[in-house]
Amino acid sequence: MQHHIEWDNTFFKEVQANFERVGRQMHLDENILLRLRVPEKALMVSIPFRRDNGKVEVVTGYRVQHNDTLGPYKGGLRYNPHVNMGEVSALAMMMTWKSAIVGLPLGGAKGGVAIDPHPLSRQELQRVTRRFTIEILNFIGPDSDIPAPDMGTNEQVMAWIMDTYSQQKGHAIPGVVTGKPIDIGGSLGRREAPGRGVVYAIISAAEKIKMKLDSKIRVAIQGYGQVGGAAAKKMEKIGCKVIAVSDHTCALYNPNGLKFDSLSAYLAQNKVLKGYPEGECITNEELLEIDCDVLIPAAIERVIHKDNAKKLKCRILAEGANGPTTNEADQIIRERGDIFVIPDILANAGGVVVSYFEWVQDLQNLFWKEKEINHRLWEMMSDAFEKVYLTAQKEKVDMRTAALMTAIRKVSTAMLTRGLYP
Ligand code: GLU
């Protein structure tokens, strides 16, 4: 099979291999398999921007569009020094599956800029973002490709993209991005949606394995950003005990439970978890191997690998991050058979579900109440969970394979119906 150097990246190759494994297992049409294993379009741009000291720097930006059979491309933008074409392509493919599983009329895309946003001033961040938007201007749009936040980006970054795009078009176009601030067309509930969705998926999984979600349930969460923070809050709210959380500075462990409000107050002052007094500081690696009932990796990809997969002590693994488990680790977990895995493309779909709600509200200029949004999110997440679970039972496969089967079936059926142009 033809080899592309751009995608010669471990993460992408694994996501691709996983797709091919499941595609073959379900006897996917050979032509569809060839088309879906690579993105439809990939754009790479150079972004010159001025630092506050007057010097110009040039960084690389990407937008990869994997598939738009079911609707406009959709997916986040990541600002991280390690962003590259392979990573973004892997994540774009995962977005196609994610949207399909929850039944959204959207395709899959992902983008990013290879830059560490943390040392940048607000003005520098704004300049990079606006220039990046200009470079990808003709690639995105409310009818064609709708970015959203991901690692290293936030509501403010989305606001600058929306403004730059709108300035170019001559009128306000809020539907070009999701995850915006509420006052410019963002949706209620979007900020907490990825974490909330993870917890909804855990509720569904717990019901299947007859695990009562009460104060005896110990939860460990790696990553305390958009996904991990909101998941911690919601797990505490439903009565479970969050015994460990982490960020890049430290992993906190307290067998008696860490309190969300107290952590938030500490973070508001100190920005990082390190130094928080009511917990022991352990490493991020140790956190993953903690004796717990629910483990939520909600930080970066490939943290569960062949060396620690055997050591996991959780009953439910709910993947809040994209791609936290390598294929080798997945194989080990499958063979172990004692962990209920809620795969990333199902577990963290809450973000894109409420992004979809935001986009619909923007297009209709009609906004919904938070209660309605959360209720619809619950319906879509639990329906998707049920669909994947039934596939797992029927095909006698694990949840990850079942999730991929569900998504691939949906996309491939639509592709076959539309046919190949010309
Ligand atoms: N970045 C999020 C994800 O990986 C959200 C994408 C979106 O809302 O479009 O699912």
pLDDT digits (tens, 9 = 90+) for 81-112: 999 999 999 999 999 999 999 999 999 999 99
Distance 418 CA to ligand 1 centre (A): 26
Alpha-carbon distances of 371 from 49, 92, 189, 206, 236, rounded to whole Å: 42, 30, 9, 24, 19
Mean pLDDT score of the chain: 97
* β 251-253/241-246 pair status: antiparallel
Joined together, the tokens standing for residue 203 give 């509720």
Cα 151 from Cα 77, distance rounded (Å): 7
Separation CA 193–CA 400 (nearest Å): 21
Report the pLDDT value the prediction gives residue 8, as an integer from 0 to 100: 84
- 163 and 200 in a single domain? The answer is no
Comparing 402 with 5, the larger pLDDT belongs to 402
Is the Cβ atom of 352 under 6 angstroms away from ligand 1?
Answer: yes
Residue 23, domain member (yes or no): yes
Q: How far is the centre of ligand 1, averaged over its atoms, from the C-alpha of 284 (Å)?
A: 24
Block residue for tokens 């007057």:
54
Residue 94 counted as domain residue: yes
- Pocket test of ligand 1: the residue of 66, 95, 110, 301 to mutate, having most ligand atoms within 8 Å of its CB, is 95
In a domain, 396, yes or no: no
The question of whether 74 is a catalytic residue gets the answer no
Does residue 168 sit in the same domain as residue 202?
no
Give yes or no for residue 256 having a pLDDT over 70: yes
Domain boundary among 302, 325, 342: 342
Name the domain boundary from 289, 314, 342. 342
Which domain-ending residue is among 128, 143, 173? 173
> What local confidence, expressed as pLDDT, does residue 6 receive?
75
Which CATH number do you get for residue 47? Answer: 3.40.50.10860
Confirm or reject: Cβ of 289 under 6 Å from ligand 1: no
> Token pair of 388, please?
């994947």
pLDDT exceeds cutoff 90 at 7: no
**CB under 8 Å to 64, separation ≥6 — which residues?**
39, 41, 42, 43, 85, 88, 89, 91, 92, 109, 110, 111
How far apart CA 198 and CA 368 sit, in angstroms, is 22
Structure tokens given for 146: 């709708």
| Integer Cα distance of 422 and 420 in angstroms | 6
> Residue 226: CB within 6 Å of ligand 1?
no
Residue 56 dihedral angles phi and psi, to the nearest 5°? -100, 135
Q: In angstroms, what is the span from residue 6 Cα to ligand 1's centroid?
A: 23
Instruction: Please tell me the predicted confidence (pLDDT) of residue 91.
Output: 98
The model's pTM is 0.97
Residue 284 and residue 139 in one domain: no
Residue 1 has pLDDT above 90, yes or no: no
Q: Domains in the chain: how many in total? A: 2
The pLDDT confidence band at residue 161, using thresholds 50, 70 and 90, is very high
Share of the chain above pLDDT 70, in %: 99
In a shared domain, residues 104 and 166: yes
Q: What are phi and psi of 267, to 5 degrees?
A: -65, -35
Q: How confident is the model at residue 4 (pLDDT cuts 50, 70, 90)?
A: low
355 Cβ closer than 6 Å to some ligand 1 atom: yes
Quick one: 382 exposed, middle or buried, by C-beta within 10 A (0-12, 13-18, 19+)?
middle
Q: Is the CB of 145 under 6 A from ligand 1?
A: no
Residues 152 and 199 in one domain: no
Q: Which three-class secondary structure state does DSSP give residue 62?
A: strand
| 154 and 227 inside one domain | no
The pLDDT of residue 2 is 57
**Statement to judge: residues 125 and 204 lie in one domain:** no
Asked whether residue 347 is domain-assigned, the answer is: no
Residue 72, ligand 1, Cβ within 6 A: no
Question: 66 and 20: one domain?
Answer: yes
171/165 Cα distance (integer angstroms): 9
- Mean pLDDT of all residues in 280-309: 97
Mean local confidence (pLDDT), 405-409: 98
194-252 tens-digit pLDDT: 999 999 999 999 999 999 999 999 999 999 999 999 999 999 999 999 999 999 999 99
The reply to whether 246 and 299 lie within a common domain is yes
Question: Would you say residue 368 lies in a domain?
Answer: no
- Which of ligand 1's atoms lies nearest the C-alpha of 151? 1
Ligand 1 atom at minimal distance to the Cα of residue 147: 9
Q: Residue 290: inside a domain, yes or no?
A: yes
Q: Per the domain annotation, does 104 fall within a domain?
A: yes
Residue 5 is predicted with a pLDDT of 74
Domain that holds residue 150: 5-173
Examine residue 288 and state whether it is found in any structural domain, yes or no.
Answer: yes
CA of 92 to the centre of ligand 1 (A): 10
CA 200–ligand 1 middle distance (angstroms): 17
Confidence band, pLDDT 50/70/90 cuts, at residue 351: very high
Q: How far is the CA of 150 from the centre of ligand 1 (A)?
A: 6
3-state secondary structure 155-198: HHHHHHHHHHHHHHHCCCCHHHCCCCCHHHCCCCCCCCHHHHHH
Q: Indicate which residue of 41, 55, 98, 110 is catalytic.
A: 110
Query: Does one domain contain both 134 and 208?
Result: no
For ligand 1, what atom is nearest to the CA of residue 150? 1
Minimum CA distance residue for ligand 1 atom 9: 75
**CATH, residue 266:** 3.40.50.720
The pair of three-digit structure tokens given for residue 271, joined into one six-digit string: 């920005």
The ligand 1 atom nearest the CA atom of 75: 9
Helix (H, G, I), strand (E, B) or coil at 281: strand
Quick one: 138 and 285 in the same domain? Answer: no
pLDDT of residue 247: 96
Pairing of strands 316-318, 340-342: parallel
According to DSSP, residue 48 is labeled: E
Is the CB–ligand 1 distance for residue 178 below 6 Å?
yes
Between the alpha carbon of residue 334 and those of residues 27, 315, 327, 329, 331, the distances in Å are 21, 13, 10, 9, 5
Q: For ligand 1, is residue 180 a contact (CB within 6 Å)? A: no
With the most atoms of ligand 1 within 8 angstroms of its CB, the residue from 355, 359, 373, 381 to mutate is: 355
Is the same domain home to 166 and 23? yes
| 355 CA: nearest ligand 1 atom | 8
Ligand 1 center to residue 75 CA distance, Å?
5
Distance of CA 285 from the midpoint of ligand 1 (Å): 25
